[in-house]
Structure 1
């Protein structure tokens, strides 16, 4: 099936760009979530091409200052704004947003269908979100969104190294944050607060152990436990003290440590067998969680 939402090449073409970096998450049954990086240097002035109207939003993070930002919705021009790097902007794709591109630009756009907001509200036992509240063309200081976007954007640099589980987790966190901050989401009083039942915890761990190659989505884990993704993430952390992605990475490290004790296996071989894309990826993650390189760890244990 061809993706038709406002992300990837569909979005890049509106800014006269090709081959734009894109990260896609399908952790919600009724829609895709995606990040698209938009960047241009010294453009000949042009207005962005109209984006096909759909019941969805774009939430953008400015990666550089953009003074004198001219913006239209439904043909109406809004007051000129001076946007700063790090600010968050919202665009309602039902309102035909158009921007004048007359200077270097760089931003990352989070594609968020309204169906996903409905799902977030449903999982929080809250009323549906009719629309997000924002001032057209204005930038908001939103440190949480910046931090989440920065974490997700690591996948642009080395996409083969980023597990789908991590992408799904960050995308869901961004959708939940937007629903709460701009959609007025207030969880219902009967949202479950407990951890995983013993059988759910056992099943989740078994599934993670069997998919250390990275071929695992948050949807898979939640479905196997009979929970919504939001509830599953909260319950998993309460039961284990870690997010599903953190647990996943630590299990990779545990497997690597066992394999490192076999001196006949090269470091590259250990990395691949532990689910990492290559030796450099293995070394970076190992150092992040263990504090030393796999080679040094092996020498200290095997001498």
Structure 2
């Protein structure tokens, strides 16, 4: 099972060094995985895929020539463009042949995790994924791929809340776009109860300098990860990750205004990875750098 999302094994399958990989624990059974596959080689034929009850979805980040075999039969040959998506059932030995270099974001989910998250959404039957349009443009998946690029390439700046949120968005898009199921019997909707919102917020504030996950916050509220994430956003108007970033910036403003700590120490006290990460987030939310904000408001 580990080979499905292990960076070294995925890289070897595409004849690369270990592929940068992110894992999310939005499902309790197995993680959802995100890997970047990139090569300048003129020609690469991937190795055979051991059969597994799981799916991978590859999003092209640059144009590349693709030939695909499924269970030994040639299924597709095309010049793929950035944003083209290829959904593979890993039980069927999908093998790619890529020419002219490639840059791909690979999304992975096991059948067990797919079923677990689908049950939380109220689907009436087991989910199966398929498409008759291999290599068709999928702008939603391209957007998710670009959102993940920095996190995949910068291990030190990985936020569990952010990665978990992308995992849930990936699952939602899969079930709405590629799932062979009937419409939902019920959809988990509604808002968090006041005590649930307070408990989630208290947990994030208590771990402001840590890296809480959606699963941990959901347990605090007695909910599944998917239900919690949707209910929190409907209640608070932002995702848990966005709320946490704003609260960290609020705390940083207090320290900038009323203390003399260096920026690196403020970054650490507020849960940012380093001063550079702190400066980028603070500038995005406040419109100016922490140093300039401190000089402006103290004057």
Q: By how many angstroms is 1:213 displaced?
A: 2.4
Q: Distance in 1 between matches of 2:122 and 2:239?
A: 22
Q: What SS does structure 1 have at the residue aligned with 2:281?
A: helix
Q: Is 1:220–2:219 an aligned residue pair? A: no
Q: What CA distance in whole angstroms lies between the structure 1 residues aligned with 2:125 and 2:246?
A: 37
Match of residue 231 from structure 2: 235
> Secondary structure of the residue that 2:258 maps to in structure 1?
coil
How much has 1:189 moved relative to structure 2? Answer: 4.7
Q: Which residues of structure 2 form unaligned runs of 5+?
A: none
Asked if 2 retains the 8 angstrom alpha-carbon contact of 1:51 and 1:93, the reply is yes
**CA, structure 1 residues 291+52, in 2 after alignment: closer, same or farther (shift >3 Å)?**
same
User: Does residue 151 of the first structure (1) align with residue 147 of the second (2)?
Assistant: yes
Pick from 35, 51, 54 the counterpart of residue 53 of structure 1. Answer: 51
Cross-structure match for 1:4? 3
Is this contact kept in 2: 1:38–1:108, CA < 8 A? Answer: yes
Secondary structure of the corresponding residue to residue 115 of structure 1:
helix
Task: Kindly state the Cα deviation for residue 262 of structure 1 after the two structures are TM-superposed.
Answer: 3.2
User: For the aligned residues, what is the CA RMSD?
Assistant: 1.8
Which consecutive aligned stretches of 4+ in structure 1 deviate over 6 angstroms post-superposition?
A: none
Distance in 1 (alpha carbons) for counterparts of 2:261 and 2:175:
48
- Unpaired runs of 5+ in structure 1? none
Query: What residue in structure 1 maps to residue 21 of structure 2?
Result: 22
- Corresponding residue number in structure 2 for 1:112: 109
Residue 204 of structure 1: aligned partner: 200
Shift of 1:120: 2.1
**Residues in 2 aligned to 1:144 and 1:219: alpha-carbon distance in whole angstroms:** 24
Distance 2:220 2:96 in 1: 44
Q: Distance in 2 between matches of 1:97 and 1:145?
A: 20
2:254 is aligned with 1:255? no
Distance 1:102 1:240, change over 3 A: closer
Deviation at 1:239, TM superposition (A): 1.4
State TM-score, norm by structure 1: 0.93
Count of matched residue positions in the alignment of Structure 1 and Structure 2: 299
* Contact 2:209 2:272 survives alignment (8 Å): yes
Superposition map of 1:97-176 within 5 A: 97-135=94-132, 138-176=134-172
Distance (Å, rounded) in 2 between the aligned partners of 1:209 and 1:75: 53
Paired residue for 1:300?
296
Tell me, yes or no, if structure 1 residue 179 matches structure 2 residue 175.
yes
Counterpart of 2:89 in structure 1 is 92
Cα pair 1:60 1:108 within 8 Å, conserved? yes
Q: What does residue range 65-76 of structure 1 map to in structure 2 within 5 Å?
A: 65-67=63-65, 69-76=66-73
Q: Summarize the Cα distance change of 1:176–1:273 in structure 2 as closer, same or farther, 3 Å threshold.
A: same
Residue in 1 that maps onto 2:36? 37
SS of the equivalent of 2:176 reads: helix
